Structure 1
């Protein structure tokens, strides 16, 4: 009963703090860390003893899966250079520099241990940055980069941490670390790809969305566990699984599965993220006591943590101009590619129609859309300034630090150093990020362009649906009044709330069934057009998401519930 009461009070507290932070204009993670830190020093407040392995192996997989499954695959692919620059190259550089600094400041710890701590503090936590960015209207491309960095950099840092810990016991060469990293990436990607495909296929065969949802809850662990057993990155396997699931879900899963996943995984992510940040604050008191019991200096740990915090912030700021230079070169290449693509398009139009031409046209459409994306959604110095100041660390850093071996020299002090880095960057950068965003004046997504894109997409989908109605008129398989009613219900202005199935002809059950079947055929055709746009990248992700939700809502309203419900 006591545990149940703690769980209830905990959930209520999370919701209360998050709601209060939203009203005050604060990012919920920042408020949770501050509240948790304050509560941890209040006498009588129970501090949960959460093993760090539980966070890394129990909480992190569903969090990463939830973020990855909602990450548009096209956006991730288009921003992959920036994402991997931040999530891999910057993490490696930060690990090496922080390790070197700690080794110079604390000669008692071996260099591999210093690198292990560097790996712990190198990954950023995108939750606070994206929550602030969404509230202040950052453009979608910038938010995608921050979310993508958060997906990949945890895997990079944990692989480096594993290599550094292994080097404490035995000598490990740079070539050996590189080979281990490559092995981890390849194996984790394969495991994630297989689990993602199997998960979607199996769920597509289940008629009951409840069973499908229950199965989806174990998918992250189905990817994480085998990858870890193969000594690869379980987190990367989970991320790949989520990306594969998000890519194939709209094509294979039912509307009921997709809509239930949308709500369920958002709820799970909110509870887990909030609990992790609250735990981060609550753990401060215990870390301070642990340092005191080992007769180490809390003040010394604080100074070391501040020095490391300054370094990780400085490294990111220095790194960003080089990264933005590569983005600028990519934009220049895109500008040079436009006339070449026009020439290719002209030559292709002159060729006779065949399968090869269709395939090439599809590829050309995709490449042209990618080029247009680079030229329209540019990243200038303003966006670079926001990226440079968005390197907050989070509770995963604290949990990873606590996985250092028990015989690590000065282990309590090093864990407290990691906490100081996480708390300093989270609070300092998190609280000042709104001011940076306002000062940088990053232009948001153009609402008129978004509206026009959505109208254009719905027009393409409606045209595909109209073809179904025209065929039904020609073959005479459906009464004209049913066709007229379906055509009337399909005329929904862009941005309005659809009322699928409203005013269904009430004549007879047979007429209703004809209406329902024809409407579902139209929705299926419209979904095919939507999937083509999604695959080719010819429309913005926001438009595709809104149209997808609309279609799912219509289909769900027209689909009878499973038998027995």
Structure 2
């Protein structure tokens, strides 16, 4: 009963903190850390020790899966190189630099344990994304921070596990305390297995849930997907968190094609609620553990001065390494945005158009089976279409880079938004006393870095954004001109569907020709009971045209001409319209 009361109070506190945060101008997680820290100081309360497995296994997989499902796919692909660099190269670099630092300031620490602690402190937390979104920073910066927080957790935890494993292997077999390169195959295996298992689970999730029409049963299956990806991957020696992220990405990108509107809307609301509760619980726990961790260090190290000094040095190294890496990243991205490839790509696109309309003789590899300069061969047509799509996508990417360039101000935001949090705290507690005698000190260092980073950077980030005087992008969700162009594309698809013989009712029967002729393109807009036409026929025709628009929307999603927010907004409108029409049809049947 007591545990149930604690859970109820915690959920209420999380909800209140989330509701109050915008009014106070402070991120909700920061409020929860402060509340937890204040509660931990109450002398009449005993805070039980939280098993880190609860966070690593029970919290992080669904949290990362939820974020991966909503990841903006097009922007993520465009900036995958920088995101991968932040998530992999920067984590490795920071871990090694911190490892050397810890070996210098902590007497007798094993090199592998020092690097492991560096890996614990290296990943950033997703709380930065929520803060930056609220401040109205460029969507490109938000996407990079979001992608980094998804992938670098897995990199850090795989490195942590391989380092800890190498400690036992080196000391038990050879007695040598140096770090060898034997961990590299294990590291690579952990990532590869996770990607394969995660992709398979995501694919099966799409297929299975598309067959289940019961919404409650469908939702229940959706809740266990991150764990289905996590558990077998861990058993195979891979990173379960990477698998959960990959499963989420595959599910998120296939949802528009495989799920019903009801499933998509239900998933969006359910996972948003789960994400709110789980993330809030972890930050609340972070504050609640403050008092106990401080007491352990006072007892074992005669105070907290040693731990705080080391934590301050580690945080300085983290920020400096991040600043150096991001500076190089911004410079490389600015060169990419100058558009030196545009002339070559435009010339290539023009030539492909000329080849397609027959005004230019095609390359021999595009000739027909008898060698004639034609595109009667379906394989040649597919090859030309594929090349035109790739060139068009490359041009769209260049437009994106030039429309949202990364400058030094954006780089400063990326650096300062690199806060530590959930993963750092959970991973630190997985270090057992069998590995090192300094466990309490290492956990305190990780805690001090995480809390110090959240407080220092989290509270000052709004001031930094204001001081840099970054141009606000306006409405974060939509570009009105882009949305209008996309609506025109969908309207054309709907009008074109009227003359298609494939236009059918839900039961497969054909529409009355007189009905189609009388309605015409006016059916693109929501129907009214007009002209004495049967209401049911109007609703059925509108549903058929919504399906045609959704097919066209899925085609546009792979082209790169429209941003993810615009595509998702259009899909949400179609889903809402379809659900409304289906409800009216049900009323008609009753």
Q: Normalising TM by the smaller chain, what interval?
A: over 0.9
Give the root-mean-square deviation of aligned CA atoms: 2.5
Task: Measure, in 2, the Cα distance between the counterparts of 1:507 and 1:213.
Answer: 41
Task: Measure, in 2, the Cα distance between the counterparts of 1:425 and 1:287.
Answer: 17
Residue of structure 1 in register with 2:362 after alignment: none
Aligned residue pair count: 550
Residue of structure 2 in register with 1:33 after alignment: 33
Consecutive unaligned residues of structure 1, counting only runs of 5 or more, are 492-499
Task: Measure, in 1, the Cα distance between the counterparts of 2:535 and 2:439.
Answer: 70
Residue of structure 1 in register with 2:420 after alignment: 393
Residues 100-122 of structure 1: CA deviation (Å, up to 9, x unaligned): 11111111221111111111111
Q: CA deviation at 1:46?
A: 4.8
- Report whether the alignment pairs 1:264 with 2:270: yes
Counterparts of 1:59-74 in structure 2, within 5 Å, are: 59-74=59-74
Q: CA deviation at 1:483?
A: 6.3
- Report whether the alignment pairs 1:425 with 2:453: yes
Counterparts of 1:107-118 in structure 2, within 5 Å, are: 107-118=107-118
Residues 26-71 of structure 1: CA deviation (Å, up to 9, x unaligned): 1111111111111111123353432101101110000000000000
- Report whether the alignment pairs 1:556 with 2:560: no
Contact 2:136 2:474 in 1 (8 A): no
Residue of structure 2 in register with 1:315 after alignment: 321
Residue of structure 1 in register with 2:5 after alignment: 5
The normalised TM-score by structure 1 is 0.92
The worse-fitting range, judged by mean Cα deviation, of 367-376 and 247-256 is 367-376
Residue of structure 2 in register with 1:494 after alignment: none
Task: Measure, in 2, the Cα distance between the counterparts of 1:30 and 1:314.
Answer: 23
Q: CA deviation at 1:220?
A: 0.2
Q: CA deviation at 1:446?
A: 5.8
Residue of structure 2 in register with 1:527 after alignment: 550
Residue of structure 2 in register with 1:19 after alignment: 19
Q: Equivalent of 1:219, from 202, 218, 225?
A: 225
- Report whether the alignment pairs 1:166 with 2:195: no
Residues 68-107 of structure 1: CA deviation (Å, up to 9, x unaligned): 0000222111111111111111111111111111111111
Task: Measure, in 1, the Cα distance between the counterparts of 2:218 and 2:57.
Answer: 23
Q: Equivalent of 1:443, from 449, 460, 471?
A: 471
Residue of structure 1 in register with 2:384 after alignment: 357
Residue of structure 2 in register with 1:516 after alignment: 539
Counterparts of 1:37-436 in structure 2, within 5 Å, are: 37-127=37-127, 129-171=128-170, 174-294=180-300, 296-332=302-338, 335-352=339-356, 354-407=381-434, 408-436=436-464
Contact 1:68 1:240 in 2 (8 A): yes
Residue of structure 2 in register with 1:452 after alignment: 481
- Report whether the alignment pairs 1:490 with 2:524: yes
Task: Measure, in 2, the Cα distance between the counterparts of 1:386 and 1:41.
Answer: 34
Contact 1:483 1:515 in 2 (8 A): no
The worse-fitting range, judged by mean Cα deviation, of 402-411 and 63-72 is 402-411
Contact 1:72 1:246 in 2 (8 A): no
Contact 2:72 2:565 in 1 (8 A): no
Contact 2:112 2:179 in 1 (8 A): no
Give the 3-state SS of the residue equivalent to 1:538 in structure 2. coil
Task: Measure, in 2, the Cα distance between the counterparts of 1:133 and 1:150.
Answer: 13
Consecutive unaligned residues of structure 2, counting only runs of 5 or more, are 171-177, 357-374, 376-380, 505-509
Q: CA deviation at 1:133?
A: 1.4
Residue of structure 1 in register with 2:490 after alignment: 461
Relative distance call for 1:36 and 1:512 in structure 2 (3 A) is same
Give the 3-state SS of the residue equivalent to 1:391 in structure 2. coil
Task: Measure, in 1, the Cα distance between the counterparts of 2:512 and 2:386.
Answer: 35
Task: Measure, in 1, the Cα distance between the counterparts of 2:518 and 2:447.
Answer: 65
Instruction: Kindly name which structure, 1 or 2, has the bigger radius of gyration based on alpha carbons.
Output: 2
Contact 1:472 1:478 in 2 (8 A): no
Task: Measure, in 1, the Cα distance between the counterparts of 2:448 and 2:414.
Answer: 22
Residue of structure 1 in register with 2:564 after alignment: 541
Residues 527-565 of structure 1: CA deviation (Å, up to 9, x unaligned): 112112211111112211111110111122223599xxx
Task: Measure, in 2, the Cα distance between the counterparts of 1:484 and 1:204.
Answer: 35
Residue of structure 1 in register with 2:361 after alignment: none
Contact 2:166 2:183 in 1 (8 A): no
